Structure 1
């Protein structure tokens, strides 16, 4: 991880093409599935990039190529992020604005080096929201991805299926600042 450089971005227009290119490499094995198609990601990215509090952290290799990304935005009480849940979410998550991490990804050659957590932690470092949540496919990596997030302090707070093409996803949450 010490070879990668992390940079914050708050204007999607500045990094849109980088995010799409990295996404294609990160999700290469899944691009044949409707919810993972480049077009589906681009549509979500454009929508998320216009949401309040949008911010991305992109990891760059020493040669300047983007190798990973994490992005999030603020979600207010009543946001569809919460209204799509299949069970009520603990009130502390929905009482005021919180942070929703929409995507985290690292290209295969850079996986297993702590880069995903470094981008995640860097993204949270200066956020003012009290709580953060994210969605994960419980089947991803035979549960490995969800266990990774649980190792970062996340607990399951609900589940949802954001679109008909999406698998059912677990919603995990935690305080932005860990004790």
Structure 2
């Protein structure tokens, strides 16, 4: 039996304190896709910089010693946010009339996948949120559908589709209650 590595979860509300580690982990997590414009580290850095200064920004990083091995980050979105405007069909009002937390990215380095770290990061990200719902977008092709299935097993349900930018693939918008 393999035991999970000793992991410390650290939460950040200031982007500058976590930006370098977020970029490092992202580059390894998305390595097979970095040649695509939407997944390039520079494109991620631009999105991260934009999201990092939006209301309710939070990042959670997992560390084994001083080595970052996984991350999640997101921020609060309000009614009328571009996130909801790009979702088709229009989401039910019960999701959009109150602030919702948008989990913008989550990833774990390949060597630490399958150890439960992603779920621990996810749960820590939500542990102190006061929004009633959490939403995320997933590429249904990721992991040959395994990532989408994983989010469903965590209680998320599909509510629509979005293509956040011309360079991004069509993504499935998912949502669940925070608690």
Aligned to 2:7: 4
**More displaced, 153-162 or 84-93?**
84-93
> 1:157 Cα deviation (Å)?
0.9
Aligned to 1:128: 130
Unaligned runs of 5+ in 1: none
| Residues 1:25 and 2:36 aligned together | no
CA distance in 1, matches of 2:30, 2:14: 23
**Could you say what the CA RMSD is over the residues aligned between the two structures, in angstroms?**
0.8
> 1:103 Cα deviation (Å)?
0.3
Name which of 42, 45, 57 aligns with 1:54.
57
Superposed CA deviations along residues 78-103 of structure 1, whole A, max 9, x for unmatched, are 00010001211121110110100000
Q: 4+ runs of 1 displaced by more than 3 Å?
A: none
> 1:2 Cα deviation (Å)?
4.7
Superposed CA deviations along residues 115-167 of structure 1, whole A, max 9, x for unmatched, are 11100001101100000000000111111000000000000011100000100
Superposed CA deviations along residues 26-83 of structure 1, whole A, max 9, x for unmatched, are 1111101110001100000000000100000000012x11110001100000000100
TM, length-normalised to structure 2: 0.97
TM, length-normalised to structure 1: 0.97
Aligned to 1:44: 47
Unaligned runs of 5+ in 2: none
CA distance in 2, matches of 1:124, 1:130: 10
Aligned length: 176
